[in-house]
Chain A
Amino acid sequence: MKWLFAPGLFSSGPVLQAAVVGVVVAVACAPVGVFTVARGQSFAGHAFADIASTGGSAAALFGFSPLLGFLGMALAGASATEALSAPGAHARDRDLVTGTVFGAALGLSALLLYLQSTEQSTGGTVVSVLFGSLFVVGPETWPLVVPAATLALVASAVLYRPLLLATISSELAVARRVRLRWMSAAHSAVLATCVALSAVTIGAVLSTALLVGPAAVGSRLGRTPPQAIAWAAATGAGCTLAGIWLAYDSYEWPPRGQGWPVSFFVVTLVVAAYGASRMYRPKLRAPRLGGHPLEDRG
């Protein structure tokens, strides 16, 4: 099996830690990812990830936990977007607000990364913040990942029915006394949390791929929201584990054997999975009955 699995793959501490963190994050991202895709908020997911990079940059500059940096800034960005959006705002109007907050945060992130790279002369931090590496998730970060992911999963479960109704139709939800503003704010908070977790795993720039890609696969393959979430979790976890395996093996690959970034493999596999899912054509509707049911009843 050496040709398939490089020696030490199953006994390496960093690999096992990366596998646990990656799977936990992929599973936590599944429900919120399915809702994000269904609500047409993929851009918000990407924007929150880049906004989170500001926190990651600050963490690198000031030396605190990257997850806390990513999480704090993603939540701040989500709060700003919610505060500036009108209740029940059209997706296009929300995108304008999100884009504005996104631009402001990226500017700040550029400043923080510049200061960090000039003062500490460590250009690797920029790569780490933007593109991440599961293999170097530090001891100050990974113990926080599981509680944060659990919190996101529990919140997704609590919000499930009213959020689904609000996703289908804001009018139907309002008629059933669902508070759209609260629902939107809560979903944004969970989304920001998952984006921060994803950013720690595969980097801020690529975290959208782990959030949106598996959810898009799930939405094509699942017939119901729970099935879509299950497919998304399986796809995200599978791509993450396979990405870790390939990245570990790549240290043996010619010509230089220096190893390829795990984020590259994860994102490539997610995109491949989405491409494969596009070949599946879901059965959209039941066959029509002959005649009309009302007329059949006489």
Chain B
Amino acid sequence: MTAELPFGAPQAPPAGPPVLEVAGLSVRLGRRPVLSGVSLQLQEGEVMGLIGANGAGKTTLLRTILGLQVPEAGDVVLRTNSRGKKGVGYVPQKINLSADLPLRTRDLVALGADGHRLGPGWPGNKRWRLADDLLDAVGAGHLAQARVGALSGGEQQRALIAHAMAGQPSLVLLDEPLANLDLRAAREVVLLLGRLASAQGVAVLVSTHDINPLLPVMDRLVYLANGRSVTGTPQEVVRGDVLTRLYGHHVDVLRAHGRVIVSVGDDGPDDPVWDGSGSDL
């Protein structure tokens, strides 16, 4: 079920029709219930964080939105945005490619536009112009001719974001894009997501187990725990009373130097403290 916020009804999304509406979604993997009645709405140009520890169901929710996982109950509705775009771009956490694979970054990006089509496709300036423009837009224009397998983690994330944008989606889903990135690279990717959302009106749903890097650009968040969710702004959701209700036991939220630290436990001396680096929720 979707946990209710303590100050009333679930947080209403910003004005305008949502490009993504998830209502009462329940998913089982085998016999294990992973999501129970999860709901969220994502607006055009909005950046939403999908927060939760490892195993909380973030990837399952993304896979269900992509249509790769059949829900037990609930609906996922994708709508055309005001720019007439409707589609989902997807950015996995990482792709493992050998540096020996003869594939340039611009090849990867171009496949985002037409990789699902049969046939070799005819080489043309239009295809490469699209790829190069997208690489410029994500600050990776200088990597167009580089082999994808030789890119660093941050560079690969930018290339994958450009790949996702090549399909001209209304919604981009990112699965743990900040994992394995150092602080600087994570900040670059987060700023890029904010720019994409504001400049191109793309709705962005980004999963992460660490809320902190997303704070500068995140409009709202979905917090997943125990298969349930709560949605709202960071100030509304990341509070001890809200997360205590979501987890079903005591949660402390500490704020220091602009960072959020969530401590979950049973009030014992060995309570785990989670600041995004662990999986002990």
Are A224 and B102 in contact, with the CB atoms below 8 A?
A: yes
Interface residues of B in 72-99 (CB under 8 A from A): 88-90, 92, 95, 97-99
Stretch at the interface among B140-148, B226-234, B247-255, B262-270: B140-148
- Contact in complex: A222, B102 (CB < 8 Å): yes
A219 in the interface, Cβ–Cβ < 8 Å?
yes
Chain A binding surface SS class: helix
Contact of B142 among A158, A225, A282, A289 (CB under 8 A): A289
Please tell me which one of the listed residues B118, B146, B163 contacts residue A172 in the complex, with CB atoms under 8 A apart. B163
- A158 and B191 alpha carbons, distance in the complex (Å): 39
Give A contacts to B, CB under 8 Å.
34, 38, 157-162, 164-165, 168-169, 171-178, 218-220, 222-228, 282, 284-289, 292-294, 297
Q: For residue A228, which residues in chain B have a CB less than 8 angstroms away from its CB?
A: 102
Q: Is B23 an interface residue (CB 8 A)?
A: no
Chain B positions 131 through 157: 1 when the CB is less than 8 Å from some CB of chain A, otherwise 0: 000000001111111111111000000
Question: Which of the listed residues A34, A38, A169, A288 has the most CB atoms from chain B within 10 Å of its own CB?
Answer: A169
How far is it, in angstroms, between the C-alpha of A294 and the C-alpha of B189 when the chains are bound? 9
Most buried by A among B68, B114, B116, B192: B116
Tell me how far the C-beta of A217 lies from the nearest C-beta in chain B, rounded to whole angstroms.
Answer: 11
7 CB-based A-B contacts, threshold 8 Å: A161-B120, A162-B118, A171-B90, A172-B92, A172-B115, A177-B116, A286-B144
B137 CB, min distance to chain A CBs, angstroms: 10
User: Which single member of B97, B118, B167 contacts A168 (CB below 8 Å)?
Assistant: B97
User: Is there contact, CB below 8 Å, between B102 and A227?
Assistant: yes
Closest to A220 in B: B100
Sort chain B's interface into a size bin: 35 or more
Cβ of B115 and Cβ of A284 under 8 Å apart? no
Q: Is there an interface contact between B146 and A294, defined as CB atoms closer than 8 Å?
A: no
A225 touches B102 (CB 8 A): yes
Which residues of chain B are near A218, meaning CB under 8 Å? Answer: 102
B188 touches A292 (CB 8 A): yes
Complex CA distance for A178 and B167, rounded to whole angstroms: 14
Docked pose: A244 CA to B95 CA in angstroms: 42
List the A side residues contacting B92 at CB < 8 Å. Answer: 169, 171-172
Mask of B107-121 contacts with A, CB within 8 angstroms, 1/0: 110011011111111
**Which chain B residues have a beta carbon within 8 Å of chain A's beta carbons?**
66, 68, 88-90, 92, 95, 97-104, 107-108, 111-112, 114-121, 139-151, 160, 163, 167, 188, 191-192, 195
In the complex, what residue of chain B is closest to A40 when comparing beta carbons? Answer: B98
Which residue from B99, B119, B167 sits with its C-beta under 8 Å from A176?
Answer: B167
Q: Which residues of B contact A173 (CB under 8 A)?
A: 115-116
B276 to chain A, nearest CB (A): 22
Chain A residues near B142: list those with CB within 8 A: 286-289, 293
Closest to A284 in B: B150
Collect the chain B residues with CB atoms within 8 Å of residue A289's CB. 142
B116 touches A165 (CB 8 A): yes
Contact A293:B107 (CB < 8 A) given known A161-B116, A171-B92, A174-B68 = no
Chain B residue, CB-CB nearest to A31: B120
Which of B95, B118, B144 lies in contact with A158, CB distance below 8 A? B118
* Known A-B contacts A286-B145, A294-B188; A168 and B119 likewise in contact (beta carbons under 8 Å): no
B213 to chain A, nearest CB (A): 14
The chain B residue sitting closest to A174, CB to CB, is: B68
A228 and B107 CA atoms in complex are apart in Å by 13
CB-based contact A219/B115 at 8 Å: no
Chain A residues near B115 (CB-CB < 8 A): 161-162, 164-165, 172-173, 176, 178
* B-side contacts of A292, CB under 8 Å: 139, 188
B151 contacts A285, CB within 8 Å?
Answer: yes
In the complex, are the beta carbons of A176 and B102 less than 8 A apart? no
B103 touches A168 (CB 8 A): yes
3 tightest A-B CB contacts, nearest first = A293-B139, A175-B90, A165-B115
Cα-based distance from A73 to B79 in the complex (angstroms): 49
Report whether A161 and B119 are in contact in the complex, using a CB–CB cutoff of 8 Å.
yes
**B139/A162 in contact, CB under 8 A:** no
B68, B97, B103, B167: the one within 8 Å of A225 (CB): B103
Chain A residues with Cβ under 8 A from B117's Cβ?
161-162
B95→A168 contact, CB < 8 A: yes
Complex: A288 Cα to B120 Cα, angstroms: 31
